[in-house]
Structure 1
Amino acid sequence: MKFAAVQKVLGLLLTLFSFTMLPPALVAMLYQDGAIWPFIFAFGLILVTGLLIFLPVSRSQHVLRLRDGFLVVVLFWTTLGLAGALPFLLSPSPEISPTDAVFESLSGLTTTGATVIIGLDELPKSILYYRQQLQWLGGMGIIVLAVAVLPMLGIGGMQLYRAEMPGPMKDSKLTPRITETAKALWYIYLWMTIACALAYWGAGMTFFDAIGHAFSTVAIGGFSTHDLSMGYFDSTLIEMVAVIFMLLAGMNFTLHFVAVHRQDLRVYFHDSEFRFYMLIMVTVATFVTFTLHQTQTYLTWEESFTKGLFQAVSIGTTTGFTTAEFYFWPPFLEILLLFASFVGGCAGSTGGGIKVIRVLLLIKQGVREIGRLIHPNAQLPVRIGGKTVNHRVVDAVWGFFSLYVASFVLMYLMLTATGLDLVTSFSAVAACINNLGPGLSQVGAHYADLQDPAKWILCFAMLLGRLEIFTLLVLLTPAFWQR
């Protein structure tokens, strides 16, 4: 383990993160909301801390290995969650505890969208902007952004990229060099954000709300600048704009890159994961719409469709925006939507959940095992898009799924031990490990009423989901620390 290399990267990344405190400070100046000093103080403290970590090992020439990359990612996200909590803790509005500040910070950075803050409409504009910015930075992963910068400082980035990027196909690169890959991902991410903000603005949002909601839409985050979330605007046009960009952000960004590079939209429809992703979204939206109308939750087909489609896409992609209190809908729909979040977005997207490609592989593997029962001696490979999937990838998916289930059950039991009912505990763990946000029962609207131990358990669930299980749990194995 090259601890000097880990310390050097961690110090640099923390130093870079300190500068993200300046945009909300500028917002505080523009709106004169009296919340500038928490961001100035946080900027200085994080900057000094980052430099103190970096400078003692600034001349270190150790090469960062894959194992070191895992440690950097976990340490950075943990440290980032603590550092990002400073403005919430220092600001006079809202007045929240250290536990709540860390919870809100981690929820933003992991794009979970679970909130402990009530009364968003009365908060300073700078705090509202800061929450949205946290999600935008976490959406594609600050580590990937750093991958584009660190090579210029003499530090390689492949180790960080493999540890951070979501999905089972981590060795595939869009461009030959990892730096160019990171830049390509961020260019797509940036332009999608700009397009989303302009669309929201044109649909009737204020400029401030348009930017804030574009940040959380493209990041598949779900934070809003209003307590009623997207329901505040009461606009079908705004909701449909959100649906389009949530679907786009839930797709594999590799597809966006290839489609733009080739100028050919047929790239999407040739991809098996994309087709399965759209099939899930259409199926869930159809069931939700039909059930809402049949149960007379809404009296017209139009309202049933708009509410059903929005919630299906928002929950299915793990964004977490709401235009209705779906946690008061018929129980069948509550469970259907929650289970849709377990699938989540595509690999290489900003979405959470198990990921579409993994679910598709699990289904194909299950079908293969049934075929083997009928034809024991047959060679039945698992194929995706006409190509045989390496058995090591299939094994990794099964390993991920088993660890996911085991982690889920353990945290579910721990949460019920804090005194929460079964539905609240199940949905809270699901919403946090899938980086969804809103749950059912007591955590449908917010998480403010939970006890501190429950919030810390859910903080761990957010990190576990954001770092794709393996990245975090590998640090807990004795073999990782052996030479």
Structure 2
Amino acid sequence: MAARGAVRPGFGATLLALPLFLLLVGVFAVSMLVPAVYGGVVRELATARAFLYSGVLGVVIFALIGLAHAGRDPRHGALGPLVSLFSAFVILPALLAIPFYEAVRTTTFLNAYVEMVSAITTTGATMFDDPGRLNGPLHLWRAQVAWMGGLMMWIAASAILAPLNLGGFEVTARAEPGRSARRETGMTAPEVRVRIAKVSAVLIPIYVALTLLLWILLAVGGDSALVAICHAMSIMATSGISPVGGLTGTGAGMAGEAVMLLFMLFALSRLTFSTDTVTAEAGGLKRDPEFRIGLALMIVVPLVLFVRHFLGAFDVSAESELEDAARALWGSAFTVLSFLTTTGFASAFWGDAQAWSGLETPGLLLMGLALVGGGVATTAGGVKLLRVFALYLNGLREMERLVHPSSVSGAGPMGRRLQKDGAFIAWIFFMLFALSLALISILLSAAGTDFDTALVIAIAGLSTTGPLLDHASSDPIALIELGGAAKAIFVAAMILGRLETLAIIALFTPDLWRA
């Protein structure tokens, strides 16, 4: 019996006491009401009913399981929250695929599951090459799941991955990956829930406000409400999901792309919206290595492509009008930044850039940009710019030591940290990434896929850049034509690319479970 005068916990405290994965189930179940309402408004009643019934059923199941867990404190080790995050990418998509499968009715549940994994990992690859096969509520659901998956990674980066020195934080950390640099920084269930609540209170308003602002700007620019909101959510989540098959079917034009480009800059560095990383101590955004490398690539690569295109246009005696040249340069700049941030939107003028020169830009360049990826603790995938900077800085240091073996580095606190252990850990991650790429390519080839296609699919999954399937090869790759084994391998690649190899390895470390 409770002591007399004891204060019962409030509703918020009760929610925080629930397991993290169960909370995610409840949040996504409630979010199903959004496409249900939209389906009712646009008179897609069958789709609306599928989402309404699934959402209500999900909320009921969440409430029942929540009552069963009331008063219980989950006993997991330091990596318990990481297991919940892993489960969110493996198990949760099966629940999200139920209304999608019931609404489409002309596909298999496996295809619906792959579609939802692609969305929640912000990969953006689709099983439906023809956008007209899906109605408005289904397109909204795909973009919404990806948007919520990006928000989930935003929050998890600060609340779960950063304390464990994973997800890119290990490069500048002072502890081994999977362990906290300070012993007083606990990873018990109550502490993690409190940390998640604090981080969510800060990041969710920023994420929502930026999405709404981009939605309004795109709508004012000429896009329909559905296209504008889907593209706005896709830009913030770097998912590249579009209800019209890309930017060529939009009405915002170059002005809309310019607005998108500005918002894609948030995926270059976490310092664009937060100061909770170690790099913030080294001079802010102006001296942030991720942001500077990202801007350099956005400027240098399009210029190189522009010169290449210009020489091609000169050789074939094409017209070199100023307007054509400007469109070609803009198409290259936007597409480079889009694939660097693993968004994957190709500019509507990307084709003009190739037609203007008479040459075809190789997809290998786009795959390389996607592999580099965006900033640490953002919604972008890939190897991450900070790890690339660590390897670059270590390479410079080793070249200096060839000339001056007894020299002492003076690169500052962050530079010395990167040169000591950060570069070593970044190299380990890069090798694990390369091994994962090789293994997935081999498995896809064994499943009946030709090598070139297998390589593109593996890179698209590990870098979470689904639009590579349309732009990296001469002919678009149709995922729906793959066998069941190949689809399962692609699902594993997307989950591995989103959660990253070091985090997966940490899940199988017995010593960390006893921490």
TM-score for the superposition, normalised by structure 2: 0.80
Alignment counterpart, residue 193 of structure 1, candidates 198, 206, 211 = 211
Query: Deviation per CA, 1:380-415, whole angstroms, max 9, x where unpaired?
Result: 476576664484433332222221111111101111
Counterpart secondary structure, 1:347: coil
Q: Name the SS of the counterpart of 1:205 in structure 2.
A: coil
- Structure 1 gap segments, 5+ residues each: 148-156, 260-265
Contact 2:290 2:386 in 1 (8 A): yes
Distance 1:271 1:72, change over 3 A: same
Instruction: Tell me the equivalent position of 2:21.
Output: 10
SS class of match (2:376): coil
Q: Contact 1:73–1:143 at 8 Å: present in 2 too? A: no
Q: 1:415 aligns with which of 439, 444, 453?
A: 444
Contact 1:424 1:442 in 2 (8 A): no
- Verify the 8 A CA contact 1:289 1:309 in the aligned structure 2: no
Deviations 1:420-461 (A, max 9, x none): 222211111111110111233387364222222111111111
Q: 5 Å matches for 1:121-132?
A: 121-132=132-143
**Given the alignment of the two structures, is residue 315 of structure 1 paired with residue 339 of structure 2, yes or no?**
yes
Partner of 1:57: 69
Partners of 1:214 and 1:164 in 2: how far apart? Answer: 31
Q: What is the letter of the counterpart of residue 495 of structure 2?
A: L
Where 1:14 maps in the other structure, the secondary structure is: helix
CA distance in 1, matches of 2:432, 2:167: 16
- In 1: Cα distance, 2:336 partner to 2:160 partner: 36
Partner of 1:369: 398
Structure 2: runs of 5 or more not aligned = 1-15, 174-179, 186-193, 277-282
Give 1:231's aligned residue: 248
- Counterparts of 2:107 and 2:410, CA distance in 1: 54
Deviation of 1:275 after TM superposition, in Å, equals: 1.0
Instruction: Kindly state the Cα deviation for residue 479 of structure 1 after the two structures are TM-superposed.
Output: 5.3
Q: What SS does the corresponding residue of 1:341 show, helix, strand or coil?
A: helix
Q: Deviations over 1:36-80 (max 9, x none)?
A: 121123213433443454433322134654221221111122122
Range with greater deviation from structure 2 (49-58 or 73-82):
49-58
Per the alignment, in what secondary structure is the counterpart of residue 141 of structure 1? helix
Per-residue deviation, residues 218-252 of structure 1 (Å, max 9, x unmatched): 1111000112x111126222222222222x23132
Q: Could you say if the C-alpha distance between residues 415 and 382 of structure 1 is closer, same or farther in structure 2, counting changes exceeding 3 Å?
A: farther
Deviation (angstroms), 1:208:
1.9
2: CA distance between counterparts of 1:295 and 1:54? 64
Contact map agreement 1:64 1:159 (CA 8 A) in 2 = no
- Counterpart selection for 2:108 from 80, 97, 109: 97
Residues 377 and 52 of structure 1: CA distance in aligned 2, closer, same or farther (over 3 Å):
farther
Q: Where does 1:106-121 land on structure 2 (aligned, <5 Å)?
A: 106-121=117-132
Q: Deviations over 1:273-319 (max 9, x none)?
A: 21111111212222233333433499631231232122211111110
Query: Could you say if the C-alpha distance between residues 352 and 443 of structure 1 is closer, same or farther in structure 2, counting changes exceeding 3 Å?
Result: farther
| Partner secondary structure for residue 168 of structure 2 | coil
Number of the residue aligned with 1:469: 501
The Cα RMSD (Å) is 3.3
Measured at CA, do residues 282 and 75 of structure 1 come closer, stay the same or move farther in structure 2, by a change above 3 Å?
same
**What is residue 191 of structure 2 aligned with on the other side?**
none
| 1:270 corresponding residue in structure 2 | 287
- Per the TM alignment, residue 187 of structure 1 is displaced from its structure 2 partner at its CA by 2.1
Indicate yes or no: 2:486 matched with 1:458.
Answer: no
Contact 2:230 2:242 in 1 (8 A): yes
**Which residue of structure 2 lines up, in the alignment, with residue 167 of structure 1?**
168
- In structure 2, what is the Cα distance between the partners aligned to 1:282 and 1:482? 48
Summarize the alignment of residues 246-325 of structure 1 with structure 2, pairs less than 5 Å apart: 246=264, 248-257=265-274, 267-296=284-313, 300-323=324-347
Find the aligned partners of 1:177 and 1:373 in 2 and give their Cα distance: 46
What secondary structure is seen at the aligned counterpart in 1 of 2:480?
coil
The aligned amino acid for 1:194 is L
TM-score by length of 1: 0.84
CA apart distance, 1:81: 1.6
Q: Distance in 1 between matches of 2:71 and 2:376?
A: 37
2:68 is aligned with what amino acid?
Answer: P
Mapped partners of 1:293, 1:115: distance in 2: 34
Report the CA distance shift for 1:217/1:143 in structure 2 as closer, same or farther (over 3 A): closer
Distance in 1 separating the partners of 2:447 and 2:262: 39
- What is the rounded CA distance, in whole Å, between the counterparts of 2:23 and 2:196 in structure 1? 19
Is 1:78 paired with 2:90? yes
Distance of aligned partners of 1:322 and 1:6 in 2 relative to their CA distance in 1, 3 Å threshold: farther
Deviates more, 1:120-129 or 1:40-49: 40-49
Alignment-derived partner of residue 203 in structure 1: 221
Specify the SS of the correspondent of 1:85: helix
> Matched residues in 2 for 1:225 and 1:391: separation?
47
Partner of 1:150: none
CA distance in structure 1 between the aligned counterparts of 2:59 and 2:153, rounded to whole angstroms: 16
Say if 1:420 and 1:383 are closer, same or farther in 2 by CA, change over 3 A: farther
CA gap of 1:38–1:178, structure 2 versus 1, over 3 A, is closer
Say if 1:391 and 1:404 are closer, same or farther in 2 by CA, change over 3 A: same
Which of 330, 339, 362 is 2:368 aligned to? Answer: 339
Equivalent positions of 1:345-384 (< 5 A) are 345-380=374-409
Offset of residue 122 of structure 1: 4.5
Alignment correspondent of 1:444 = 476
Q: 1:202 to 1:387 in 2, by over 3 A?
A: farther
Structure 1 contact 428–443 (Cα < 8 Å) conserved: no
- Equivalent residue number for residue 263 of structure 1: none
